[in-house]
Structure 1
Amino acid sequence: MLRWSGGVTRLDKVRKEHIRGTFKVTPIPEKLQECRLRWYGHVMRRDDDYVMKRALYLLEKERGRGRPPTTWWTSMTSLLKKEELPNPTTLDTMSWRRKIRRADPT
């Protein structure tokens, strides 16, 4: 979409990093992390009897050999460790948004 709006084709051989930089757009993986963390905060602020929140604490069945599949919960715990975000901060909506927000570069 950015190529189209910038009038650049793939035949021009302009790298996507350069195009994203000229439009000052945040990289897609960072925006995806922001959306995941926003959903996590939404779930953690819900009541304890909410279905999704109860499902997070269900016991997992024993798995067979090999690498276990990546679940939403395992990816969230690794993301929270990487971003160094403590769990109780989800209760305050405004501070949580300030911590997880990925602003577009100016």
Structure 2
Amino acid sequence: MVFLRDFKKKLLNLSVFYVFQIGISIFSLKVAPVIEKLRSKRLAWFGHVMRRDDDISKKVMRLNVDGYKGRGRPKKVWNDCVKEDMRRKGVDFDMTAGRDVWRSSTYCADPQ
């Protein structure tokens, strides 16, 4: 909670004195949560890469590395995050072909 308050103060370039003197509530700002913005940007980049022609970045993204996996829980990789974001937004892999459809379904707007 403290991190988000400090982050918003830095974002607006407000000093602590100014915030408390004027009585501005940092939490009443009309800004979407940072996590939602990150998800939106991650999905936007994923759609951008998937729409490209046979590019090296697209091949690397689909690459499946075989080999020894250590004990314990597997590490979270970028593809797992993208799959989770797609599940949360309710979008499908096939929607990446249409830029407008993909952007409208993954965009995170600030509340009014």
Smaller-chain TM-score range?
0.7 to 0.9
1:64-106 deviations in whole A, cap 9, x for unaligned? Answer: 2111111111111111112210111111111111111111110
Structure 2: gaps (5+ residues):
1-9
Q: How is 1:23-102 mapped onto 2 (pairs within 5 angstroms)?
A: 23-47=29-53, 49-62=54-67, 63-102=69-108
| Identity percentage of aligned residues | 36
**Aligned CA-pair RMSD:** 2.3
Moved >2 Å (runs of 4+):
none
Matching of residue 4 in structure 1 with residue 9 in structure 2: no
Q: Report the Cα offset of residue 26 of structure 1.
A: 1.1
- The normalised TM-score by structure 1 is 0.79
Equivalent residues of 1:3, 1:19 under 8 A apart: no
Structure 1: gaps (5+ residues):
none
Equivalent residues of 2:89, 2:105 under 8 A apart: no
* SS of residue matched to 2:14: helix
Equivalent residues of 1:20, 1:26 under 8 A apart: no
Q: Tell me how many residue pairs correspond in the alignment.
A: 98
- The normalised TM-score by structure 2 is 0.75
